[in-house]
Amino acid sequence: MKRTADGAAAPDTAGTVVHRVARPEDGEAIAGIDTSFTTDSVFEVTVTGGGFRVVETRVEHPVHKVFPADDGGEDDQGGPGPDRTVVALDGDEVCGFVTVSFAPWNRRLTVRDIAVAPAWRGRGVGRTLLRHAVDFAKECGAVHVWLEVSNVNAPAVHAYLRAGFVLCGLDTTLYEGTESAGEVALFMSRRVD
């Protein structure tokens, strides 16, 4: 986020979209963003003798994923360091957001949640939100930005790859006992320049 001469946050614009730090009154609009997606490929994870193999695979029938309502679990809470949510606005409409938190002990900024409304996907909103996350990482002194994404969310994986993220790990059991059972958590990171 750009700053004015007195250090106050100043929104920046990309086309008609303005970005700013979220306010309490943005909560309902953030929660109302449609985060579902449809994809014709997934990242298939195979356990091998010495590890794992991750390969993008076309699926016979497109996968339509609707994320379950946030349960507000402990893992969704920020760490001991600072956190921030930035919203993307088209006029008064919230068309996307990113929520991040910083962990001082390993200087990691975690992307806790990011979403772009369907009408705004593919228009640079997500890329700009990730840029805000990286800018905040720099402010905090983070050495890398980290996130978790489901192996069935190929559109998001591709977006993260384009933004400089790389696969750094996975968890085959993270979603057990949830509506997403059977999916694999992919962990991605990128160094902060």
Nearest to 68 by CA among 177, 188, 186: 177
If pLDDT is split at 50, 70 and 90, which confidence band does 1 have?
A: very low
pLDDT, residue 193, reads 85
Mean pLDDT, rounded, for 156-163: 97
Encode burial over 85-100: b for 16+ CB neighbours within 10 A, e otherwise. bbbbbbeeebbbbbbb
Question: SS3 for 15?
Answer: coil
pLDDT digits over 10-58, tens only? 444 446 899 999 999 999 999 999 999 999 999 999 999 999 999 999 9
> pTM above 0.85?
yes
Could you confirm whether domain 2-191 is CATH 3.40.630.30?
yes
pLDDT, position 15: 62
Looking at residue 74, what is its pLDDT? 44
Give Cα 180 to chain centroid, integer Å.
17
For the chain, give every domain's residue range.
2-191
Q: What is the average pLDDT across 166-171? A: 97
Q: Measuring CA to CA, which residue among 18, 25, 23, 24 is closest to residue 2?
A: 18
